[in-house]
Amino acid sequence: MPKDELVELLDCNANGISDAVVAFLREYGLDIKNLVGIATDGASVMVGKNHSVFTLLKELQPSLQLIRCVCHSLDIVANKAMQLLPSSMEYMIRETYNWFAHSAKRQGDYKAVYETLNDGGCPLKFISPSSTRWLVISDCIERILDQEDALKIHFSLVSDAEHCYSFPR
C-alpha cells in the first residue's frame, strides 16, 4: 500500500466522500466491517446527525466510532467563550497588536517605557489575533495583561501626539 495517496473526489458531499472511502478500502482489499473508527473535524458534511460521511459509513459498519478532532473541538469552545466577553476586548487585542506591528518607532518608544518600569527587561511582542489558530486569543490577552502598566504609561504619553485612544486611568 502506498504511504501517501490522495484520492480525487468526484463529489465533495457526504455521498461522494463516503463512496471514496469505501472505494479506497476495497481497492486495497480491506473490509469496511473491520473499520473501527474515523477521526474528523466537526464539519456537518463529516459528522452531521442526519446525512454525513459518518452516518453513511455507520450504515455499513454499525459499530463504527467517531473521534472528533480535539483541536477543532477546543476551538469551538474558545469561540463560544469569546462571545461572552465584551466586544471591546477583541477590539483592544486587535488594535494593540496593530498599533505596534508596523512601526519600529512605536516599538522603540514602548520598549523604553517597559525597560524603565522593569529594570531593563525586554517586552514580549504582542501576538496577532487569529481566527484560524485555536486559543490564540487567550495568549493575546495574557500578553497584554502582563504588560498592562507599561502599556498604560506608553499610551498616556503618546495619546495627544498620535491622536489615539488612551487607556482609562
Amino acid at the residue 115: E
The CA-based diameter of the chain, rounded to the nearest angstrom, is 73
Q: What is the pLDDT of residues 3-39, one digit of tens each?
A: 677 888 989 999 999 999 999 999 999 999 999 999 9
Pairing of strands 65-68, 37-40: parallel
Q: What is the pLDDT of residues 65-123, one digit of tens each?
A: 999 888 777 777 877 877 787 878 888 888 999 999 999 999 999 999 999 999 888 99
Q: Look at residue 164 in the predicted model and tell me its pLDDT.
A: 61
Give the residue with greater pLDDT, 72 vs 50.
Answer: 50
Contacts of 42 (CB under 8 A, 6+ apart): 68, 69, 72, 73, 76
Domains of the chain, by residue range, sit at 14-68, 81-162
Q: Name the residue with cell 455521498.
A: 15
Q: Look at residue 132 in the predicted model and tell me its pLDDT.
A: 60
Distance CA 24, CA 31 (A): 10
Q: Which stretches of the chain are DSSP H helices?
A: 14-27, 44-47, 53-60, 70-84, 87-101, 104-117, 136-146, 148-162
Q: Look at residue 16 in the predicted model and tell me its pLDDT.
A: 96
Q: What is the pLDDT of residues 134-159, one digit of tens each?
A: 568 788 889 999 999 999 999 988 88
CB atoms within 10 A of CB 15: 14
> What are the distances in angstroms from CA 169 to CA 21, 145, 156?
60, 15, 9
Distance CA 69, CA 87 (A): 28
Q: Look at residue 122 in the predicted model and tell me its pLDDT.
A: 92
| Prediction pTM value | 0.55
